Amino acid sequence: MAYLFLALAICAEVLATSLLRTTEGFTRLWPTIGCLATYGVSFYMLTQALTRGLGVGFSYAVWSGLGTTLIVVVGVLFLNEPLNAAKVAGVALVVAGVVTLQLGGAH
């Protein structure tokens, strides 16, 4: 169950980050409310994952690492952002870092 909450936290974080551009610097009311509410859902789900036994180091590494990876994919597929070697290398390093933490017993 903890992993389900972690997955939901990641999905909500990716959605909230995807909405940031639509807020136009937090000047548009409804996109801003949607963005902030979705970030709130993400943090709530992350806390639920933590209270159900996942370690904070592991959870945060997976939450931020997978969130970063997914937002790059969303940016390329839906927000017309270019994909280049630097982005691919950066995502690979993020994933390598999360895997290293996992192998090192961060959970």
> Is residue 69 within 8 Å of residue 98, measured between CB atoms?
no
Task: Please tell me the predicted confidence (pLDDT) of residue 105.
Answer: 66
72-95 pLDDT tens trace: 999 999 989 999 999 999 999 998
> Is residue 7 within 8 Å of residue 48, measured between CB atoms?
no
pLDDT band for position 98 (cuts 50, 70, 90): confident
Token couple for 39: 């970030």
Task: Please tell me the predicted confidence (pLDDT) of residue 103.
Answer: 80
Task: State which amino acid sits at residue 23.
Answer: T
1-51 pLDDT tens trace: 999 999 999 999 999 999 999 999 999 999 999 999 999 999 999 999 999
The pTM for the full model equals 0.88
- Please report, for the chain, the start and end positions of each structural domain, with discontinuous segments joined by +: 2-103
In whole angstroms, what is the distance from residue 39 CA to residue 35 CA?
Answer: 6
pLDDT band for position 57 (cuts 50, 70, 90): confident
Kindly state the DSSP code that residue 59 receives in the 8-state scheme. H
